[in-house]
Amino acid sequence: MSAHFVETEIISQPDCWRRAAALAPDSLPAAGERVAVIGCGTSWFVAQSYAQLREAAGQGETDAFAASEFPFSRRYDRVVAITRSGTTTEVLDLLDRLHGSTPTLALIGDPETPIVGKADQLVVLDFADERSVVQTRFATSVLALLRANLGEDLGRAIADAELAVVEPLPEELVAAEQFTFLGRGWTNGLALEAGLKMREAAGAWTESYPAMEYRHGPISITGPNRVAWMFGTAPEGLPEQIAATGGIFRSGDRDPMAELVTVQRLAVAIALGQGLDPDQPRHLTRSVVLRGVDQ
Ligand code: F1P
């Protein structure tokens, strides 16, 4: 039995993905709908990955926004909100503003929260809800559900994650002082989430970029004892350019969502190594609930 909630939640991801991928809610956007996906923090990054995947699958124009940055001048057939807690102020406020003008769907972890009644439709992933402040399995389970419902077979992702939850973490990664996460297409959202996870759980110095942007400046950060970590296939020449900086390059042919599981475990390992409690991350709460004065 793991000592921390977050560790228990991380290792349960293969099972959660299996359950999520088996769901087929008829409330998900239909092909051809023009969709905006919104959320905050981790949920915003999941929104970005889904938007890329849905549009790449030919299902229709799909944008992703932080809930606080929604462009009210644009028209959408549907707004899809992602929120584990169901209490995030910016998400609830946005759903209130859209009520009666744009149909909304919310993907949530907890059905006993104020979001019920604010969204027109709900998909509840209560089996993936978490006690931890930092999100791991809710975010990836939402993405598993969405990927499966876009027609993907998640068998390989789940098998890769079974490995990712047990394999030893490379010592050079645990000891590294800086991490730059790189993505392409739908994995840009994962790269952003990987960076956030390391900051939230371990207070680590991380950056995240689209892989082709990395050579336009961010590569100057990489060097000995610093990591450039690609989610998916690296652009040609990039591994060699990273090697020339003396930095550590990590990629692989695993499913990128399973790579994210490795980052989550690494974040916990680094936090514990520094005497931090990954269940009590600094300056964070499980969700951001703003009173009028904060807004
Ligand atoms: C969103 C979120 C988390 C973040 C922090 C505050 O929550 O931004 O991603 O780690 O704890 O809340 P939610 O709307 O998905 O519940």
pLDDT digits (tens, 9 = 90+) for 232-278: 999 999 999 999 999 999 998 899 999 999 999 999 999 999 999 88
Given a contact cutoff of 8 angstroms between Cβ atoms, the answer to whether 193 and 234 are in contact is: no
Which residues, including other chains, have CB under 8 Å from residue 292's CB and lie 6 or more apart? Answer: none
Q: Is the pLDDT of residue 1 over 50?
A: no
The SS3 assignment for 225 reads coil
Q: Ligand 1: which atom is nearest the Cα of residue 139?
A: 15
Q: Which atom of ligand 1 is nearest to the CA of 42?
A: 9
Cα 112 to ligand 1 centroid, rounded to whole Å = 17
Smallest CA-to-CA distance from 203 within 294, 283, 103 is with 283
Confidence at 287, pLDDT banded by 50, 70, 90: confident
Q: Are strands 178-183 and 226-230 parallel, antiparallel or unpaired?
A: parallel
First to last CA, the chain: 41
CA of 158 to the centre of ligand 1 (A): 24
Exposure of 182 in the CB half-sphere (CA atoms within 13 A): 24
Residue 91, ligand 1, Cβ within 6 A: yes
Residue nearest to atom 3 of ligand 1 (CA): 41
On average, the pLDDT of the chain sits at 95
133 lines ligand 1 (CB under 6 A): yes
- List of residues 6+ apart from 15 with CB closer than 8 A: none
Ligand 1 within 6 A of 199 CB?
no
pTM of the entire structure?
0.96
Q: How many CB atoms lie within 10 A of CB 95?
A: 23
| Residue 220 half-sphere exposure toward CB, CA atoms < 13 A | 3
Ligand 1 atom nearest 134 alpha carbon: 10
* pLDDT tier for residue 284 given thresholds of 50, 70 and 90: confident
